[in-house]
Structure 1
Amino acid sequence: MRQFPFSVPRREFLALTGAAAVTAGCGSAAGRDGVPATTIRYQGWAGTVTPAELAEDLGYLDGLTLEWVGNTTSGPQDLQAAASGDVDFGGAFNGAVVKMAAAKAPVKAVISYYGVDAKRFNGFYVLRDSPLRHARDLVGAKVGMNTLGAHSEAMLDTYLKREGVGSGEAAKVERIALPPVNTEQALRKGRIEVAVLGDLMRDKALERGGIRPLFDDHQLLGSFSAGTYVMADRYLDRHPRVARRFVTGVGRALEWARRTPREKVVARMVRIVKRRDRSEDTGPLRYWQSYGVAGTGGRIAPRELATWARWLEQRGDIKTDRVRIEDIYTNAFNRNPSTRNPRSPQR
């Protein structure tokens, strides 16, 4: 998955999410520095077309304009930028969203933007001749992943617990933060025993051969939305109509991508990246398969946040009952139908 393209140590992850509550009141959102209300500021990802960018290109944002202010370095950093008012929305793994809520950051999740399905998932891979075959074999092994304290570590903990590995033994599984571009190489050179690979990195590694999967997050939990866009409470209070147009447009784009033949989606993404002229490589886009969002139009299901609230409580990262799930998210700004219409026209 591309939600965390660079390595962010667990301590930095917790600091970012905890600091958001402190910085939320001192950002630039109050005055917006003359930016019109119809302009939505955001951070992007190099070589990637986000659902928001696709929505704008499709004309689904109903007169709103996106203003790219740069690329983010991680999901938690993007959330912090939204909380502080440096951007108008940010997105990350739902566990990070829960962490921010526990820190009492005045933000709310408004729409899912990525997830896990049969086409888009993270796999935990070992070398073909590796002796590691079962969960208990991971005790003492090194597992490389892009960000600690986030999606991949949550999947690892869930897998170990489900397979009966106790907390004491699970703590002996060494989790190592590595940039995705280096993870496969680290596996092949024996610096780690398990590599978490997704999307482009997974498919390229599989093309080269010599590796096999232990498990993947789709096998583990099925299809589910894993990350959400959040907006600051004060933004939603001041610009509810803009938020409604934005969220509804992103939801329409998610459905367009779901029902449109993959080659047409990829072709459109390539045109978008070339047109914005940021010296980006369009090659990785040919590996795009799905945004993986489970809910129709990006609607958020409470269990998609509750799962990670329990995980964070079990880790001791947040206190029990620190968050009320119903206070973390809202579908009120999403005007997309709650069920899909398979005959809806393509744009």
Structure 2
Amino acid sequence: MPVTPTPNRRLFLTLLGLSAAATACGTAEAGSARPAGGQTRTLRYQGSAGAVTLPELAADLGYLGDVKLEWVGNTISGPQDIQSAATGQTDFGGAFNGAVVKLASQGAPIKAVVSYYGSDKDAYSGFYVRQDSPIRTPRDLIGKKVGMNTLGAHSEAMLDIYLDRAGLGRADIDRVEPLVVPPVSTEQALRQKQIQVGVLGGILRDKALTTGGIRPLFTDFQLLGAFSAGTYVMTERFLKANPDTARTFVTGVAKAIEWSRTTPREQVVARFTEIVRKRGRQEDTAALKYWRSYGVAETGGRIDPKSFQLWVDWLAERGDVPKGRIKSPDALFTNEFNDYGKGSGN
């Protein structure tokens, strides 16, 4: 299975590729299927093959009311997903918060509205090596290939923080080679020695660990503790034109997060399996049994400013976002549409 070499790490996050001119011109439409004189009640989105997203779970549980989801395909990465939302190809998209910071700093008219994934003791991404690998420390990664699902997102950020905290200089960090490897192929690439380190999370991680023969070098949970890592975003235009729809969507996702926390895991997995089978896309459901948690840290996915401040500071320090471009993380998100815990939102 081929792996794709990456550009120099100094180009981190440039794969987002939206210029300020493109994003600021207001290309995002205010939703699809708008009733005459009313707010749209249909939300276009991208899904993930063989998985159930929180909006899909919310819809199946009836938490979205008369708001319908319109699947337009599967996303290839978080940065691509929020770019699609920013340009009006979809009505919402989700990505690692650092990618949201980067896109917003380029002038994209987006707001994060609810957290949807994170890291905890059950849901985390790990950087794994083969059991017999000589790699034991951050310095051992110099000159090695690290496979991850996409560049400019969560995994590359974790790798960079891990190396930086170990005291490696920029010259040494640039000698660690991140590679794009599809998540479903990462375990195989690692075992076949096409890469020396592979990033594995969730279902794919647990499946690989069950097989054996690999060990963790570090995990994002070990690195940063429990934290919400990614948010769904909508355009400011959409939120202004469709506040009730946005509120139904965000609160529904919040309720789905809490349902997944409080429902026995076996029942959650059974529900996921039913959802995937009902949508009829010929997807394999076998890996769903490994699901454990969405990893969202805050109740109902409410966004904590700290979820963004970390990345605002880090990206500015790296030079990926001009210092002072984003004066406060509060400008990047809103909890206005999240009614979970506010009476009827429960």
TM over 0.5: yes
Shift of 1:321: 1.6
Match in the other structure for 2:18:
18
Q: Is contact 2:49-2:283 (8 Å) kept?
A: yes
CA deviations over 1:62-121 (Å, ceiling 9, x no partner): 321111122122111111111111211111111110011100100100000111111111
Instruction: Pick the aligned partner of 2:301 from 298, 302, 320.
Output: 298
- Residue type at the aligned position of 1:221: L
Match in the other structure for 1:52:
55
Match in the other structure for 1:333:
337
SS in 2 for 1:79: helix
Shift of 1:165: 2.1
Match in the other structure for 1:94:
97
Q: Is contact 1:141-1:192 (8 Å) kept?
A: yes
1:227 aligns with 2:230: yes
Match in the other structure for 2:163:
160
Shift of 1:246: 0.9
SS in 2 for 1:18: coil
CA deviations over 1:253-284 (Å, ceiling 9, x no partner): 10000111100011111111111111111112
Shift of 1:311: 2.2
Q: Is contact 1:48-1:273 (8 Å) kept?
A: yes
The 5 Å alignment of 1:63-82 reads: 63-82=66-85
Instruction: Pick the aligned partner of 1:137 from 129, 137, 140.
Output: 140
**How far apart are the structure 2 equivalents of 1:57 and 1:80?**
26
The 5 Å alignment of 1:199-278 reads: 199-278=202-281
CA deviations over 1:143-181 (Å, ceiling 9, x no partner): 111112211111111111222222222222121121122
Q: Is contact 2:12-2:320 (8 Å) kept?
A: no
SS in 1 for 2:64: coil
Shift of 1:40: 1.4
1:309 aligns with 2:309: no
Q: Is contact 1:17-1:76 (8 Å) kept?
A: no
Q: Is contact 2:118-2:296 (8 Å) kept?
A: yes
1:179 aligns with 2:187: no
CA deviations over 1:120-152 (Å, ceiling 9, x no partner): 111111111211111121122221111122111
**TM-score, normalized by length of structure 1?**
0.90
Instruction: Pick the aligned partner of 2:191 from 188, 192, 200.
Output: 188
- Residue type at the aligned position of 1:48: A
CA 1:185–1:21 in structure 2 vs 1: closer, same or farther (change >3 Å)? farther
**How far apart are the structure 1 equivalents of 2:226 and 2:119?**
5
Q: Is contact 1:20-1:84 (8 Å) kept?
A: no
Match in the other structure for 1:38:
41
Shift of 1:189: 2.2
- Residue type at the aligned position of 2:194: R
CA 1:220–1:176 in structure 2 vs 1: closer, same or farther (change >3 Å)? same
- Residue type at the aligned position of 1:327: A
User: Aligned-residue CA RMSD in angstroms?
Assistant: 2.4
CA 1:46–1:73 in structure 2 vs 1: closer, same or farther (change >3 Å)? same
**How far apart are the structure 1 equivalents of 2:242 and 2:139?**
51
**How far apart are the structure 2 equivalents of 1:8 and 1:117?**
30
Structure 2: gaps spanning 5 or more residues: none
**How far apart are the structure 2 equivalents of 1:270 and 1:190?**
33
**TM-score, normalized by length of structure 2?**
0.90
CA deviations over 1:296-334 (Å, ceiling 9, x no partner): 100011111111122222332111121131110000110
**How far apart are the structure 1 equivalents of 2:48 and 2:331?**
29
Matched residues, percent identical? 57
**How far apart are the structure 2 equivalents of 1:228 and 1:182?**
26
